[in-house]
Amino acid sequence: MSETSYEVRLDNVFEGPMDLLFYLIKKHEVDIYDIPIALVTEQYLSYIELMKSLNIDFAGDFLVMAATLTQIKSKMLLPVHDDEEEIEDPRLEIARPLQEYLEMKSAAEQLAQRNILGEHTFVRNPAAEEIQWEEDTGLIKVGLFELIDAFQKILDNVSPDHRVDLTTDRVSVKGRINQLVDLLEEKNSLTFDELFEGAARKSDLIVTFLAILEMVKLSLITVVQHTLSGVIRIFYQ
């Protein structure tokens, strides 16, 4: 399959628009009810553009959220006159549903952690149990947007002379997945940066990143980050 037509579909495996919004709020260490709307809107749109450029297929909900943020930003720019009645902060339009979403997500995560056996119930993945989490080792699971940030740093270090050429003959995403599986079977785990070593072209980096996303979807790998060092590591399941 040609890489120009290859898309990684987010489906329900990765985070949605609310998660991206919360990620940006958390990244800038601000309160949900005091969102720097201009900055968050600008960065939200940049993430969407980057996902488009990487052939990551995302739900229309991301675009709806982008439109909502843009509308709120416009309202924030409107002048306020002294003789007007007190107007509700436009940011509450997104802050309230975001707070509700986070509460529901927290409740869902607590339910998912229960080790319940039986028909029509969830069970924990035995492979995931092999990794000791935050309390013991400082490891936390990594989401899509942390991966995008880490990949952006790798792209930033690529020479500007490197052009993305998705038409030249090279390894496909499926072929790269097979290569990464071989590497991880031998090493068991590798850092995120190590997976990109030896890539001669920017397009090779993109293929590797798409392969990583597909492997997450297929539950072939677990991606974690050390809270102190910030190093992202890939474990083969």
DSSP character for 227?
Answer: T
Residue 68 predicted with pLDDT over 90: yes
- At residue 114 the predicted structure's pLDDT band, cuts being 50, 70 and 90, is low
Which one is predicted more confidently, 108 or 224? Answer: 224
User: 139, 227 in Cβ contact below 8 A?
Assistant: yes
Q: What is the pTM of this model?
A: 0.77
Amino acid at 179: Q
User: 192, 234 in Cβ contact below 8 A?
Assistant: yes
Angle at 17 between CA 43 and CA 65, to 5 degrees: 75
User: 166, 4 in Cβ contact below 8 A?
Assistant: yes
pLDDT in tens, 161-211: 554 454 444 678 899 999 999 999 999 899 999 999 877 688 889 999 999
Residue 109 predicted with pLDDT over 80: no
Q: Which residue's structure tokens are 């590591």? A: 233
Nearest to 135 by CA among 230, 227, 221: 227
Residue 123 predicted with pLDDT over 90: no
Spatial distance between the Cα atoms of 179 and 161, rounded to a whole number of angstroms? 27
User: 203, 168 in Cβ contact below 8 A?
Assistant: yes
User: 75, 90 in Cβ contact below 8 A?
Assistant: yes
Spatial distance between the Cα atoms of 194 and 131, rounded to a whole number of angstroms? 20
pLDDT reported for residue 136: 54
Q: Which residues pair with 190 in a beta bridge?
A: 234
Residue 234 CB burial class (10 angstroms; 0-12, 13-18, ≥19): buried
Spatial distance between the Cα atoms of 212 and 195, rounded to a whole number of angstroms? 9
Amino acid at 200: A
DSSP assignment of 27-61 equals HTT--GGG--HHHHHHHHHHHHHHHHHTTEE--TH
Mean pLDDT (whole number) for 205-219: 92
Which one is predicted more confidently, 229 or 149? Answer: 149
Residue 87 predicted with pLDDT over 90: no
Topology given in CATH for the domain delimited by 125-237: Arc Repressor Mutant, subunit A (1.10.10)
Span(s) in the chain for CATH 1.10.10.580: 125-237
